[in-house]
Chain A
Amino acid sequence: MGKIIEIRDLRVEAKTDSGRVVEIIKGVDLSVADGEIVALIGESGSGKTTIALTLLGHTRPGCAITGGEVVVAGRDTVTMSEAQKRALRGTEVAYVPQSAAAAFNPSKTIMDQVVEVAKIHHLMPLPEARKKAVELFKALALPEPETIGQRYPHQVSGGQLQRLSAAMALIGDPKVMVFDEPTTALDVTTQIEVLRAFKSVMRERGMAGIYVSHDLAVVAQIADRIVVLKGGEVQEVGTAETIINQPTHSYTKALIEAFHPKGRDPDARPESAEPQPILKVSGLTAGYGAVGSDGLPKFVILKDIDLELERGRSLGVIGESGSGKSTLARVIAGLLPAAKGSVAMDGVSLGQRTKDRSKEELRKLQIVFQLADTALNPNKPVGAIVARPLAFYHGMGGREREAEVDRLLDMVRLPKALRHRLPSELSGGQKQRINFARALAARPELILCDEITSALDTVVAAAILELLDELQRELGLTYMFISHDLSTVEAVCDRVAVMYRGEKVEEMPTSRMQSGAEHPYSKLLIASVPKLDTGWLDGLHQNPAISEGMNRA
């Protein structure tokens, strides 16, 4: 079997904003045999996308290849001229982007963009290209393959777009496909369809591919071999089977470790002393837009939600994007007034908006947001960010406040020295800890966590979850944990509520999640989470929850 791709001692440098030059790929060797799919896995900043793009002779602005060679089908892309590179792209090597929603030009029809490769490279006459596109649509199991091409990108769903982007890549019959985290932006239920489509097409055509991902479970389904990257260097290479079952490198081990949540023993918690729930949501209906004559907003996001949350416990709220779970958090926090229903804390009904609530009520309930990047004011040093609630709720000042900030930083396991840094100088995990420390500074009783680990790398996220767990035990906090990631919820929550299209379809203890779900959507959602098992995807068709759920959706 020949080698379609041979990367030897690849080195890439990047220029930082301040003009400093950093080597981001430090001598990577890599090869892909004909018909083989190799996964590049690693956290953000590991250089996996950079390597993948060199296969197309492309580096992002500010980056430059400084050494080594990237041989694709016998030719080195590093030494190619611009014209040669253009000829290579789309015909020899094709690219499937991370977010198809962003990678499709919003002002052109899908068909125009799918057949563009054929047009640019004069591969075939346009009508023929269109015909071929429709065949690809069929092969990728897209609905209405004859007409879907006439639509504009915003008119089709994310999962369909991702498959369409594969069609766009396949139209030029490339020898190599480069997948750049193609399913990261998708909901788990959608992810399955896309992965299946990719896998079957690749297998059918016997194409070679590079699959870039941070998700080991996903990669395990599709890759023959896995390359583990960290800091621009290859850590470990092996078949998917070996990497998952017998990792040798410590980083790989950590990755796999992070994948297996410790699980949660509900009985380890003390029984709630108070009979009264700390939070009681009843008949909550809310949405956006002008309020109509029926008293309901134009776009109803939440419909008649009932929830109870016991003190010292954690409730997970799961659902895919658009299910209304974040809106639920915003209504509880008083950021969005409810159209109907009530939110009560410790038996006392809370005001609709923050301004209708007392400072004490506000203090007891804190919210922590998903993206630590936007949740922290980029122009304030960490110390000031954490200190503000101290001053605001507790009127602390001077040395007392300083000491408290130090204590809080310590509590979230961060060095005190960090207090003078700006958020942009922190890593993602550190930011999320600061984000959490700020909530803790209020000395809250209930914390609403809105997807707080979604943007983090697996290993980092696992550490944060561990921290949350510890703090809950130490401080007796109550969490409402909103996530689309079931394993996260499984790790920290006692109970889980499943949201679907603005309604709570089911609630159950976390321990019963895998086996006891009753609502078909819950079943589908739970079954769609990829397992760290190379045979999981192929075995799925036997899973009744999937087929039943798919049919429903």
Chain B
Amino acid sequence: MTITNPGRKGRFGWHMNAVGIIGAAIILFWMVVAIAAPWISPYPVGKIVDFDYYGPMSSQFWLGTDYLGRDMLSRVLMGARYTVGISLAAVTLACFVGVTLGMIAAVIGGWFDPVLSRFLDALNSIPSLMFGLVVVASVGSSMTVLVLTIAVLYAPGSYRFARALAVNVNAMDFVTVARARGEGTIYTIREEIFPNIIGPVLADFGLRFVFIVLLLSGLSFLGLGVQPPNADWGALVRENIGSLSFGAPAVIVPSIAIASLTISVNMLIDNLPRRIRDRSD
């Protein structure tokens, strides 16, 4: 039974529950941190400020110090730039490419669809960390390389997802009507398909973002990543992991930072407003 619900708030279905709001708030917090980091960091990120290492939390160093005696607070704040920035850039690129190709494949069909699908499937079968290792071994590690590599790794998944959605939408009568009207592929994709898959695509974007944050920390763990003295959170965990046994904040804090970001993205996705979550309702 359908219940039509007038009223603008209900109409757009933007209502979100508390968990979703908390998730969004934490994400927003890290975004702000990423942008504001250079201005709010108490110390330069590479400066050795304490002769002790793996220092505890103190009024001077709120989050303790790392293995060289650098201020962890500053390093985590700056790390947000890299973790959030690289992941965001990579996921945006991956999803843009994947979704565009996915929609094109769904709409055009013919030989283009199976050929592209097979090719991307094959690409998908290469383990991502391996691929990262080979790339970094051959061209070195820089922000651009990381972003591109990760985007290449995640575009096939995004493609697969978007294609499946687009195939469903493509079968809808309004797309048929557009086709009968004589509309071109670009119009069909942009105006008829895309608005109807944007919700799930956004959710997928978020999930992929989480995977990329984790992949990035995995790559950092294996020694690839941003240039010193900067470090993304994964690299912070790695370089300080020796202090895990005595629970120094140097390793705990970046771990919590990673977890807080990924968990809140998950929280947000799981509690997205209905309007975004539903495919096309």
Q: How large is the interface on A (under 10, 10 to 19, 20 to 34, 35 or more residues)?
A: 35 or more
Q: Is A411 an interface residue (CB 8 A)?
A: no
CA separation between A466 and B3, bound complex, in Å? 27
Q: Is A182 an interface residue (CB 8 A)?
A: no
Could you say which residues of chain B place their CB within 8 Å of the CB of A24? 1, 3
Which one of B173, B192, B198 has the greatest number of beta carbons of chain A within 10 Å?
B173
Are B181 and A362 within 8 A (Cβ)?
A: yes
Closest partner residue, chain B, to A372 (CB atom): B173
CA separation between A14 and B5, bound complex, in Å? 12
Which of B182, B191, B192 sits near A354, CB closer than 8 Å? B182
Which of A18, A50, A425, A438 sits near B177, CB closer than 8 Å? A438
Stretch at the interface among B10-18, B113-121, B127-135: B10-18
Could you say which residues of chain B place their CB within 8 Å of the CB of A442? 181
CA separation between A369 and B171, bound complex, in Å? 13
Contact A374 B172, CB 8 Å, known A17-B274, A24-B3: yes
CA separation between A334 and B180, bound complex, in Å? 7
Are A18 and B13 within 8 A (Cβ)?
A: yes
Closest Cβ of chain B to A338, distance in Å, is 15
Closest partner residue, chain B, to A358 (CB atom): B182
Q: Which of B4-34 contact A (CB under 8 A)?
A: 4-7, 9-11, 13, 15
Contact A379 B195, CB 8 Å, known A17-B274, A362-B181: yes
Write the A128-163 contact mask toward B (1 if CB under 8 angstroms, else 0).
000000000000000000000000000000000000
Are A374 and B182 within 8 A (Cβ)?
A: no
Q: Is the interface of A mostly helix, strand, loop or mixed?
A: loop
Could you say which residues of chain B place their CB within 8 Å of the CB of A427? 4
Are B4 and A377 within 8 A (Cβ)?
A: no
Q: Is B179 an interface residue (CB 8 A)?
A: yes
Could you say which residues of chain A place their CB within 8 Å of the CB of B198? 379
Contact A369 B9, CB 8 Å, known A19-B15, A335-B179, A377-B196: no
Q: Is B280 an interface residue (CB 8 A)?
A: yes
Q: Is A16 an interface residue (CB 8 A)?
A: yes
Closest partner residue, chain B, to A329 (CB atom): B180
Closest Cβ of chain A to B57, distance in Å, is 42
Are B10 and A369 within 8 A (Cβ)?
A: no
Q: Which of A357-390 contact B (CB under 8 A)?
A: 357, 359, 362, 366-367, 369-371, 374-380, 388-389
CA separation between A20 and B3, bound complex, in Å? 10
CA separation between A354 and B188, bound complex, in Å? 14
Q: Is B2 an interface residue (CB 8 A)?
A: yes
Could you say which residues of chain B place their CB within 8 Å of the CB of A299? none
Could you say which residues of chain B place their CB within 8 Å of the CB of A334? 180
Q: Is B176 an interface residue (CB 8 A)?
A: yes
CA separation between A79 and B15, bound complex, in Å? 34
Contact A369 B177, CB 8 Å, known A377-B196, A378-B196, A425-B11: yes
Residues on A facing B (Cβ under 8 Å)? 14, 16-20, 22, 24, 44-45, 47, 49-50, 60, 333-335, 354-355, 357, 359, 362, 366-367, 369-371, 374-380, 388-389, 392-393, 422, 424-425, 427, 438, 442
Top-4 shortest CB links A-B? A18-B10, A379-B195, A375-B173, A369-B173
A-B contact pairs, 6 of them (CB 8 A): A16-B5, A375-B172, A378-B280, A379-B198, A422-B11, A438-B177
